[in-house]
Structure 1
Amino acid sequence: MELRLLVTFEKVAGVLSFTRAAAELNYAQSSVTSQIRALEDSLGVELFDRLGSRIRLTEAGERLLPYARQIIELSEEARAAVIDAEEPSGTLAVGTMESLTSYRLPPLLELFHHRYPKVRLSLRTTLGDETRQALRQGTYDVGFLMEAETAHPGLESEVLAVEPLALVAAPEHALKGRELATADLLGQPLLATEPGCAYRDLFERELNSVGGPVVFMEFGTIEATKRAAAAGLGIALLPEITVAAELAEGSLVRLDWEPPFTLRTQLAWRSGKRLPAHVRLFAEQARKLVSEQG
């Protein structure tokens, strides 16, 4: 089995699309199709069921996938051990989210850009469920999660920091200065990013537990949500690190309500995955820099 065929197979198995795999590998789709056919011919089995426009792994494909990943990872590890051993190099696909990319990761990205120029970082912004699935499939090398849970099936993870949350509003908001219970928030206009964000989903669950259902005005991004809150459109629960500047300058105020849940920023990777040297270095630096931020 040729390594390049296994690399193509692993990519197609991860994204379950010949078209998407071709785009990510920078191949023509016909090349991906012919490489998969060549691998199937060499093994004498079909690795994918073709279901019209969709594909899925056959039983043979499911059995091959973990071996393909091991071979690819060992090849990368061997290459790193003998080429440019003194200077880390390689590609690194990182799953992350807006709040971390914009507010926690810039020092880490700056360090890698200047100190390790041969490490090519690819940041993919996704929410928790999508990040976990991409890690299990091998699409991402590592991923950042902001979750209440710290155990994730099929993944290994490490808590980097507890992530405080702040309920914020415009300075003239009627709830400012009051000690609030969850029930006091019912009936207030609620602002949020999209569903699937852990703190938004937990906030919604908490509000529903005392008298929902509740409805959020969705703004998609943290920046848009902050601006809407500062304009007096409602209240928003966001990671404290994302609103620190606005709280300091007074364009937002923190309301006196403490979330009954705790989120933790975590670094995760697929269980059993051998992390190449440059990925281990990234994890070490992430651990150091995020913990220093508090």
Structure 2
Amino acid sequence: MNIRFLETVLWLAKLRTLKATAEQLYITHTAISSRIAALEQDLGVKLFEKSGQGFEPTPEGIRFIEEAGQIVESYHRLRRVMLDPSKLRGSLRIGLVTTLTPTVFPYLVKTLREEYPHVSLSVTVDMADRLIKDLKGGRLDLLLTSSWPQDPSYEIVPLCSFAMGLVASPTLGVDVKNPLAVEQLANYPFVGYPSGTDSQMRVESYFSGVNQVAGVHATNGSYGNVQLAVAGLGISAVPIVSVKAELAQGLLVLLPTVKRYTSVHYAAIFSKDGGTEIPRAVASLARQAAASFCEAVDPAHAWQDQPTHISDQ
């Protein structure tokens, strides 16, 4: 039994299929099956059953997953602790999407100052696609983002997930007495995201099958979209935790919908081939910061994903 095997169980429990798990871990279906079989033989219990929805944890599997999650989390926490803070010195070029700027990032900065006082940050806030280009071009060392390259040369540390909601200014006149169907929402202008981005593709997926009114595109991510929504220019899909103040002040209303908008997942990304341990150490702190943030808000709006680090077979 080793950490990679435990991580495999956690991902299969989350994704439910061998295909999705293999793509996430960059290993073969056979390797996943072998890892699960080895664990089941070692433990003397069956961890998963095949169903119409994919692989479902057995009662024994559920208990194992709960304990395995804690073990994996403790292991990576121990790795971070073993890095001597006094020896971890230098600068880190970090890029993050706008949604994380007022949410997780302040927790990270506070923890970083306490844990690694000799590490300084250079921060870039931008759309995920441009951040990825800068990471690939060597202009950034670590990303906190909602999309990432499917490339085994990068390590991905899941941070958290945010529930998305459709919001609008009361001045837009959307009737919020009853849940709105997609066809009803399509009658209003929609504040979207730049074409080709994951954020805009989620918008298009939500409105698939209906004649959507052309959106007003914001070029600086969710912050710009919130401002346009507050100005009454249209409906926008944003993480609910990012508009708590606007909702409390009555500047925006959360629209009741028939169809739920997909949640957005965030992760820390860095190159496995970097010449310093700083990105890995700060990525671990970012996960800790994400946990602290999620504990401070409504668990229906933000939650932490199962821990795992992508590794070779």
TM-score, length of structure 2 as denominator length: 0.58
Could you give the per-residue CA deviations for residues 128-148 of structure 1, whole angstroms, max 9, x where no partner exists?
Answer: 23323333343321111214x
Secondary structure at 2:170 match in 1 = coil
* 1:160 to 1:275, Cα distance in 2 relative to 1, 3 A: farther
- In structure 2, how many angstroms separate the alpha carbons of the residues matched to 1:248 and 1:180? 21
Superposed counterparts of 1:48-67, under 5 Å: none
- In structure 2, how many angstroms separate the alpha carbons of the residues matched to 1:89 and 1:259? 45
Q: In structure 1, what is the equivalent of residue 66 of structure 2?
A: none
Q: In structure 1, what is the equivalent of residue 267 of structure 2?
A: 266
Indicate conservation of the 8 Å contact 2:107/2:290, yes or no. Answer: no
Indicate conservation of the 8 Å contact 1:183/1:210, yes or no. Answer: no
* 1:220 to 1:132, Cα distance in 2 relative to 1, 3 A: closer
Q: In structure 2, what is the equivalent of residue 70 of structure 1?
A: none
Superposed counterparts of 1:115-264, under 5 Å: 116-147=116-147, 151-152=150-151, 154-171=153-170, 173-195=173-195, 197-207=197-207, 209-212=208-211, 214-221=213-220, 222-257=222-257, 258-264=259-265
* 1:85 to 1:178, Cα distance in 2 relative to 1, 3 A: closer
Could you give the per-residue CA deviations for residues 212-264 of structure 1, whole angstroms, max 9, x where no partner exists?
Answer: 45421134344443233233322111112211111123221101124453320
* 1:212 to 1:169, Cα distance in 2 relative to 1, 3 A: same
Give % identity: 25
- In structure 1, how many angstroms separate the alpha carbons of the residues matched to 2:96 and 2:253? 27
* 1:152 to 1:167, Cα distance in 2 relative to 1, 3 A: farther
More off after superposition, 249-258 vs 170-179: 170-179
Q: What is the CA-CA distance between 1:85 and the residue it aligns to?
A: 6.5
- In structure 2, how many angstroms separate the alpha carbons of the residues matched to 1:100 and 1:163? 10
- In structure 2, how many angstroms separate the alpha carbons of the residues matched to 1:249 and 1:144? 29
More off after superposition, 212-221 vs 245-254: 212-221
Alpha-carbon RMSD = 2.7
- In structure 2, how many angstroms separate the alpha carbons of the residues matched to 1:250 and 1:152? 43
User: 1:103 and 2:103 equivalent?
Assistant: yes
Q: What is the CA-CA distance between 1:196 and the residue it aligns to?
A: 5.0
* 1:146 to 1:115, Cα distance in 2 relative to 1, 3 A: same
Indicate conservation of the 8 Å contact 2:186/2:212, yes or no. Answer: no
Unaligned runs of 5+ in 2: 1-83, 295-313
Structure 1 counterpart of 2:121, one-letter code: L
Q: What is the CA-CA distance between 1:268 and the residue it aligns to?
A: 1.0
- In structure 2, how many angstroms separate the alpha carbons of the residues matched to 1:179 and 1:150? 36
Higher normalized contact order (CA 8 Å, seq sep 6+, divided by chain length): 2
* 1:260 to 1:107, Cα distance in 2 relative to 1, 3 A: closer
* 1:275 to 1:263, Cα distance in 2 relative to 1, 3 A: farther
Unaligned runs of 5+ in 1: 1-83
TM-score, length of structure 1 as denominator length: 0.61
Q: What is the CA-CA distance between 1:153 and the residue it aligns to?
A: 5.5
Could you give the per-residue CA deviations for residues 173-231 of structure 1, whole angstroms, max 9, x where no partner exists?
Answer: 32312212222221211123444553333112332x22245421134344443233233
Secondary structure at 2:287 match in 1 = helix
* 1:242 to 1:256, Cα distance in 2 relative to 1, 3 A: same
Could you give the per-residue CA deviations for residues 68-99 of structure 1, whole angstroms, max 9, x where no partner exists?
Answer: xxxxxxxxxxxxxxxx9625311111121111
Structure 2 counterpart of 1:106, one-letter code: P
Q: In structure 2, what is the equivalent of residue 281 of structure 1?
A: 281
